[in-house]
Structure 1
Amino acid sequence: MTTTAPGAAVVAATALSGCGAATLTAAETGEAVPVVHARTAAGVVVLLASREGVEALGLDPDGWGGTADDAVAELSVVVEAPLPDLTVPRAHVVVQGWVSLLPHERLVEAVGAVCALGDLAELRGQWPDGRLLLLDPAAARLHWAEGCAELPVEDLVAATADPVTLREAEVLARVEAELGDRLVDLVRAMGHAHPAPGARPSAEDASRDLGSVVEVRCVGADRTGMVLRCRSERPWVAVADGCGGRRDGAACAPGCEASTTATLRLLFPSPVADAAAAVDALALLVVGATSGAAACCPYAPGRRS
């Protein structure tokens, strides 16, 4: 079975499971309310808002909710890159629908989802008079590296959050501490980078040589693989990020950093189950590549056809 990168529904479901920062905007007034967001095992989005925020949405904070007492609103979740020097947002999920105060019969399920985000006492400290809301989605879209994707609601509800991405910061810290000084040898041993599965062919594919890489940093992780930021000692035309001149066929200015820097995805032989397994899988690839064994080649990001 070929391992492929997570699709739009999985990326969005992961973001809605507690990643990033969320705001809820009331359709009637346009007022934005900060919320803590979570997602139950059944794919239901649960929101924790302050009493004042619930009132701003036009709901009664002392009610028990239900479909007879709801408000039209838009949830926006922005997931930033896990490292401070990577400033481009990883994903932006927008869900439009109806919010209502949590019905009594859904309390246990929703509290479990919210508590999974962190220590309950810490959450109570942030929201001492908080109220739980349910979001009934009507439409959803995802803005990410692949572009903008409209998501069928049923696909979003059915998708399972990526367990590695949910603990991405921990994974990246472990990789840096345990494997950081061995990633250059791993990438060099791969030989060449290939186009992303489904990417449009490029005339420069043949020049994706990894032998000149001098610096590698792991900047992303999910259950299918790792994202590696690589720097080459000489201009790297085929996989350069942000180098418009070379993509148009013109020469780069001397010292152009974009011409020597590229982002590659390293796929695991098969998806892993959790964050610890992701680090173990990368360690096995490092050991295999540096001992001369065959290893899975990374691919360069590209727009899917």
Structure 2
Amino acid sequence: MTGPGILFAATEPRWSDYEAPLRAALEAAGVTGYRLSPDLPAAEVDYIVYAPNSSVQDFSVFPRLKAVLNLWAGVENVAPNPTLTVPLARMVDEGLTRGMIEWVTGMVLRHHLGLDAVLARQSGDWLPVVPPLARNRPVGVLGLGALGKACAGALATLGFPVTGWSRSPKTIPGIATRHGEAGLAETLSGARILVLLLPLTGATRDLLDARTLALLPRGAVIVNPGRGPLIVDEDLIGALDSGQIGHATLDVFREEPLPRDHPFWAHPGVTVSPHVASETRADTASEVIAENVRRGEAGEPYLHLVDRGAGY
């Protein structure tokens, strides 16, 4: 019996990164007789390993398509596609999660310890500045999905009092959780450092604007490895100029790469990071993809399915 046809639909450099790990993971998962290629004929495709920036945008041309397996955690650029009528799975894997935890904790500690000022002051002046202990620096985390929950837990382990917010109620041991409009205001008002890990949906786009930025304690720091359009750029710059926001470390932007003439580049209160907070690692991502192919062939439920109505 012929196994499944798997189309790898991503930009060309990614195929060379993924081919060997994907084959190894498929074989380890017990998937046999498969055909894996970036050039598989549409009539032979059962699964698409997918990056939203690939040339594949019309899914209706694949008559036997069973599922689309996203290589990215974000699905806002594929979930609304009207031609996509089969299950869509987002990427949730250990490598991506660990990478995000390390980036977020590193940036939060950087701001908590005041490392920018320490490293900039190398003039010979002995000016000790002692930061508060982590237990006295409240952190807010907006978004309590897989990445938000993991990062909130890591920060709490370091001693930070963490309040997490999500649109719907969630319970996480060791984390104070809030939801809804009132919960958002409460989370913002107490956060000396705010971490954004929300998905991008109609309800979260432009969530941080002049009104909500004003709810943060004066001088609060924002760390955004989530989605660029969560923040209104012009309102953030205004809040930085007024001192309402002390600094913003941004890894994601409305337009990427960030245009050279964007004011973020020159603003002293902004750190631009080139969307590196958490890359999908080919070895660990391949294991997740292979497991979903195995499940599809066995008639078992897929992992990490996207709620198309919610958009994530």
Judging by fraction of residues, say which structure has more helix.
Answer: 2
TM-score tier by shorter-chain length is under 0.3
Judging by fraction of residues, say which structure has more strand.
Answer: 1
TM-score (norm 2): 0.25
